[in-house]
Structure formats: structure tokens, C-alpha cells
Amino acid sequence: MEDLSLHLLDIAENSIDAGADRIEMRIEEDSVKDLLLLEVRDNGRGMDEETMVKVTDPFYTTKTVRRVGLGLPFLSQAAEECDGKFSITSERGRGTTISASFTRSHIDRKPLGDIAATMVVLVTGHPDIDFVLEYERDGICYRFDTAEIKHDLGEIPINTPVVLEIIKKDINRGMSKKI
């Protein structure tokens, strides 16, 4: 995958396949610590110990349409290549948390990518799922929560084009706040 936003999209889709109806994504950039952290938490079915060991094997997948599962192995590799770490914690019936950290200034770190577009894709395709995005850069925080937006919208579907455009602009504005 060319950028980290595509990894977030892949993990979110896996969470949805695992029955999650709430997916929380956290992105933290800390220039003092030279850290970029990605974390995705869901409330899906979770995984047993055996599955957690296998998910970073590119030749393991639970999907029936293909024989390989490259998303998590590539994310793990990308983190490790940038002096970072990758971890998975999961509990059956309670959900899964996936974390990847990177040395922010590492020359091989992939760009963050278009997070707003990733969120719009997720909201468009899965309007009934609650998505939370928390972005923090050097102490400046932004939070996006579709449950709050759906409450404010009332009967208006969250995946209508005008709402999606507002969502995209809001995320872009929130993530580009000046320090």
C-alpha cells in the first residue's frame, strides 16, 4: 500500500467483516518524540490466540475470495522498517486493537495519505457503522464521530453527497490546524 490511510481503510474493512459496529481510529504525530502512531480499535468478534499469531503471515487469510492476506503483514513490515513497532491485542467477543508506530522522520516512512477521503469511503459504504477518528499533532487535537453527526442530522442520511462533502472538508480542516 502506498500510504498509511490505505492501511487504515483495510483494517476498518476487516473490522466490519468481523462484525464491528464501532471502529475507533487514532493518529498521533509528535515531532518532539519523532513519533507517528496509528491505532484502530473495534468491537467486533475478536480473535483467538491462534488467529492472532497467524494474521501477520501473508499466506493466511480468513477471506474466501483470495489465498493471501497482505494488509497486516505489510503494515507490520512498514512499521518495523521505520524503527517502529506493530502489535495486536484481541479478545473473543470483545474486539481487536491494532497499533503501529513509526519514527516520524524516517526516510522510509510512508506518507499519511488522504485520511479525509478514507473516512468518506468508509462512511459512504457503511453508514450504519459508527466511526471515530482522533487526530493529535503536537498537542493539537481533532475528533470526528459519526454517531454525533448522525444524531445531529436526524432523518438525513449521513452518506448523502452534501453531508459527505462537509465531512471531508471538516476532517481536512481539523487535521491541518496550525500549531
Give every strand in the sheet of 130-137, ordered side by side: 86-91, 95-103, 35-42, 22-30, 130-137, 140-145
DSSP string, 139-178: TEEEEEEHHHHHHHHTTS-TTSHHHHHHHHHHHHHHHT--
pLDDT score recorded for residue 101: 98
Model confidence at 64: pLDDT above 80: no
Residue pLDDT, tens place only, 24-52: 999 999 999 999 999 999 999 998 888 87
Residue carrying C-alpha cell 491462534 = 50
Four-way CATH pick for 4-175: 3.30.565.10, 1.20.1090.10, 2.60.40.10, 3.30.750.24: 3.30.565.10
